[in-house]
Amino acid sequence: MWVLALIILAAIGIIILIAYFRIPKCPKCGKRKCSEISRIETGKQNISIQKEEKIKHYGKDQTNIFGYVTPDDRIKPESVTVRKYTVPGVRTFYEVTYSCVCGNKFSRREHDEREI
C-alpha cells in the first residue's frame, strides 16, 4: 500500500517539476516568476510529423462469435506490429513577451506544432 502511495507522490512531483521548468527564467534576476504579456505570431512552416501506430494481432481462439476480440485485458495479443507514418503539419512561430516580478520585460521566440 505504501509503495503505491510513494509511486503516486513521485509522479505528482515529476509533473510539478516539468511545469516549473517550462516557465522561462528571467535574464536579469534569474527567477522563474514570469507571466506572459503578449504572444505575436511571426511565421508558419509546413512540416511532416511522424506518428506511430501499434496494431495488436489476436488468434482465432481469442475472438467471440462475431469475430471481435473480447474486451478482457488479461488476453495478450499473439503479436504487435508497429506502423510508422507521416502526416502533414504546421509549425507556428511566436514572439512571446514576458514580465518578471522584478519589473524586467523580455521576449523570446517559441514554436508549436500541430497536424493539419
Q: What is the pLDDT of residue 14?
A: 93
Residue 36 covered by a domain? yes
Total number of domains constituting the chain = 1
Q: Would 32 be classed as within a structural domain?
A: yes
**Residue at 4 is within a domain:** no
Q: Which of 74, 84, 19 is nearest to 53 (CA)?
A: 84
> Taken in order 102, 107, 109, 112, is the CA torsion positive or negative?
positive
DSSP 64-109: -TTSPBP--TTSPPSEEEEEEEEEEEEEEEEEEEEEETTS-EEEEE
Per-residue confidence (pLDDT) for residue 33, from 0 to 100: 86
Q: How many Å is the maximal CA-CA distance in the chain?
A: 69
For residue 75, being part of any structural domain is answered with: yes
Residue 83 in any domain: the answer is: yes
Kindly state whether residue 54 falls inside one of the protein's structural domains.
Answer: yes
Domain extent for 44: 26-115
The pLDDT assigned to 81 comes to 86
User: Residue 10 domain-assigned?
Assistant: no
Tell me which residues of the chain have a pLDDT lower than 70. Answer: 58-75
The model's pTM is: 0.61
Model pLDDT, residue 67: 56
